[in-house]
A and B are shown apart, each in its own frame.
Chain A
């Protein structure tokens, strides 16, 4: 039993403070040099895995992009029908169908993500200020554990609540028949909608943003805040002018993390956002919120059954590639935004 052997030697790491520490307490098997090499190897494996994944996804996705060119990102036709044609391609590789205009999916991803992150950001910032500066300690003892607990709830739970409670409610009470009929020739309004998707996604990403911003606000040096208070600023002004400004890099980090989660959210949105390949139109006024949409990640998870059909699988990999590139750009943008704020900022 090799594993047991290593395990038996492990207590040696606890060092001289422990009574069972033997002569090899300074490190034993785990010398610093050895640990450095092992950890380095592990880190390299992670990098290699990521690089391998990116190459694999892009290689698989290439035929789909190559066939449609820039029109892939444009609009035109019905995405569901195009997917169906791709799925029922003929057997001969030369006759594979790849035509796809994915604009409704891209637009759906953008609107849902941007909506949830903007609304969530405002909520999270105000909630974090309350927790750090204004909340009585009794409330804080309940509030903070609950926020951290909420951050860990699996998305499918939110999806279930959405499809069983919120979607039927919206469909029956908030959408009038006139509204349904006004757009009936283009799209059907049955409650599952952009608005419900954004609402639940906001609830999902707010807790993690609150947690990060709270940590950052707490890390602001007391001296800075006391200085402002000594000049006569009240608590709100101290928070707004000193703490929030100093915590900007952390706020950006929270936004980036939340956006990443929102971009990748698939199951919940596929359950409540209507799963029709439709690009909701802001010109429609309030109806815009009730129109269904389908983000890229949802389209991917809903169609994964058809992976075995070669051109269909390659199309799904093209969705994955777009998501990968977006999250890479997201990280870069977050990094760039933080650079300029670094001078006076505290980092989480």
Chain B
């Protein structure tokens, strides 16, 4: 009997897999992959979308993560309906894809909670991150002492791209001594455990850290919505060609439906 068990298990697995494949065929399926920063928002939007009377029981969502560039590749190859990108289009992106902006997001400069810096100007941020200032004693209002530890994201991160565009500009680079982290979580954990650390994060990942006001404006949702806080970036659903059918309706829903706008406004910045 022992020998039969693996085969039986295999057969059961195959049966289950074919069932799973068969089920969504009755409803339209929207598959998404991409940015880990967008995924929480996209999940909430999808939940609200399938509750709309018009689409109840007719639409299904499969949402995967992986990072902005994964989403863009997937959609350009036709593996998913929509890619999620938290970075702007780049010249080297594959051709034939359309970036549909549907929300904005605040990017905050963050420090350890024991080092509540009152404000930083763009020049100060550039000096700190490019390595021109290397000690907290040169930063007015800092309660930390000793060298500044830069904690940033890897080149392929959408948040890194946003930080570069918003705060550093096109010519300045983050200093080579910076520690680069592969995910939002690792970066936040590193800043939490190091009193001398400074980094940046999407607003929804800043809990437990100190958000440094930028040019005197605190990094809050209210300020980002009113446009006073300048450090915002765009969230995109990327489609292969112009979006059609249910995918198009979903994008329009995310952009303008009152329910969707309420969801976006809970932790992110609506377009209007």
Contacts and interface: CB of A to CB of B under 8 A. Distances in A.
Interface of A: 1, 3-4, 6-8, 10-11, 13, 78, 80-81, 83-84, 87-91, 163-164, 167-168, 171, 177, 180-181, 184-188, 190-192, 270-271, 274-278, 292, 301-310, 312
A277 B176 contact: yes
A74 to B, nearest CB: 17
Interface string B108-141: 0000000000000000000000000011000000
Contacts of B190: 163, 190, 192
Contacts of A83: 155
B7 A3 contact: yes
Chain B, interface residues (CB within 8 Å), range:
35 or more
A92 B67 CA distance: 24
A276 B180 contact: yes
Interface string B17-44: 0000000000000000000000000000
Nearest to B1: A11
A166 B66 CA distance: 28
18 contacts: A1-B11, A3-B10, A84-B155, A88-B155, A89-B92, A90-B91, A163-B186, A168-B193, A185-B134, A188-B177, A190-B149, A274-B179, A275-B179, A276-B176, A303-B182, A305-B154, A306-B155, A309-B156
B92 A88 contact: yes
B257 interface: no
B249 to A, nearest CB: 27
Interface of B: 1, 3-4, 7-8, 10-11, 14, 66-70, 72-73, 76, 90-94, 134-135, 145-151, 154-157, 173-174, 176-182, 186, 189-190, 193-194, 196-197
B169 to A, nearest CB: 14
Contacts of A7: 4, 7-8, 11
Contacts of A277: 176, 180
A87 B179 contact: no
A278 B67 CA distance: 25
Contacts of B196: 180, 190
A191 to B, nearest CB: 7
Contact of B3 (A10, A271, A292, A303): A10
B156 A303 contact: yes
A307 B147 contact: no
A82 to B, nearest CB: 10
B179 A192 contact: yes
Given A4-B11, A308-B73, A309-B92, A164 B176 contact: no
A191 B195 CA distance: 12
Given A163-B186, A191-B193, A308-B70, A81 B176 contact: yes
Contacts, number: 140
A240 B11 CA distance: 53
Given A91-B92, A163-B189, A188-B177, A306 B156 contact: yes
A184 B137 CA distance: 13
Contact of A80 (B94, B145, B178): B178
Given A83-B155, A180-B147, A308-B73, A78 B67 contact: no
Nearest to A301: B182
Contacts of A276: 176-180
A84 B1 CA distance: 57
Contacts of A8: 4
Given A11-B3, A180-B147, 9 more contacts: A164-B193, A180-B196, A185-B134, A188-B177, A192-B179, A275-B179, A276-B178, A308-B70, A309-B69
A149 to B, nearest CB: 24
10 interchain residue pairs of minimum CB distance: A306-B156, A78-B176, A308-B73, A305-B67, A305-B156, A184-B147, A168-B193, A302-B182, A87-B155, A7-B7
B154 A177 contact: no
Contact of B186 (A11, A78, A180, A271): A271
Contacts of A88: 90, 92, 155
A296 B1 CA distance: 46
A31 B196 CA distance: 70
Contact of B11 (A3, A185, A187): A3
B154 A302 contact: yes
Contacts of B134: 184-185
A105 B196 CA distance: 26
Nearest to A1: B11
B7 to A, nearest CB: 4
Contacts of B145: 177
A307 B68 CA distance: 11
B68 A190 contact: no
B70 A275 contact: no
Contacts of B186: 163, 271
A91 B91 CA distance: 5
